[in-house]
Amino acid sequence: MKIDRFLQLFVVKEKKFYPLYIEQASNIERAASSLVELLQEQNSEKQNSLYKTVKDLEHDGDMITAKLYEELNKTFVTPFDREDINALGGQMDTLLDFIHDSARRVLMYRPKQTNKLLVAMGQAIVEDAKLLREIMSRLESIQRRPQEINELCLKIKKIEHEVDDMYEKFMSDVFANEKDAIELVKLMNIGQALEDATDCAKSVGDIVQSVIIKFA
């Protein structure tokens, strides 16, 4: 058994990481909601405003991640393995980066029409974000409520599979119906970024599940 895991059994652990995870999850949810609005918005002024909201939240997320790493470097006994604390913080930050990248592509390409499948993929990211917020709010009790948290992680996996299906349908529809080659490339790039975001959300859930296994 690693020394830090041995100490975790007998020493009072720092709880300062949990509020940072909760704050980051809330950040992700707000950014995802703004992304969905952006995917449906055709007014350029409102698009700019929504993108700025996502960009600001991504910047705030960077600050939260930096704070988490700073606290990790100052903490001797952690609530679970240091590498998992680090990986979880990093992957949540990456998810926020993917949401920001999706919003950036929407603003940069400004597709001519709202695509319902892209909006549906964006809404799936919002659902991922809500589940992550629930997971992070329960993370402190992971030893007492492992099954409950694991079920939330499985829901994120299910969403990722559903988005894979959506993405395949989206690509098929775009190639079948979009005659403007430039517009086709725009839509493909936005769709890829959205699909990447749901993959990343699944990776966050995978890290949480690995923590559950270590406590088992």
- Report, as an integer, the average pLDDT of 132-147: 93
The band of 1, judged by pLDDT with boundaries at 50, 70 and 90, is: very low
Burial class of residue 16 in the structure, from the number of CB atoms within 10 Å of its CB (0-12 exposed, 13-18 middle, 19+ buried): middle
pLDDT at 12: 43
Inform me whether the pLDDT recorded for 113 exceeds 80: yes
- Exposed e or buried b per residue across 58-78, where buried means at least 16 C-beta atoms within 10 angstroms of its C-beta: bebbeebbebbbebbeeeeeb
Number of structural domains the chain divides into: 1
Inform me whether the pLDDT recorded for 3 exceeds 60: no
CATH of the domain at 100: 1.20.58.220
- Report, as an integer, the average pLDDT of 53-82: 92
- Residues spanned by the domain of 36: 3-215
* Mean pLDDT of the residues in the chain: 92
For 53, how many CA atoms within 13 A lie in the half-sphere containing its CB?
A: 18
Inform me whether the pLDDT recorded for 188 exceeds 70: yes
Tally helices (H) and strands (E) across the chain: 7, 0
- Report, as an integer, the average pLDDT of 200-204: 97
HEC per residue, 162-174: HHHHHHHHHHHHH
| pLDDT tens track for 35-60 | 999 999 999 999 999 999 999 999 99
pLDDT at 11: 43
Inform me whether the pLDDT recorded for 159 exceeds 70: yes
Structure tokens at 171: 């690509």
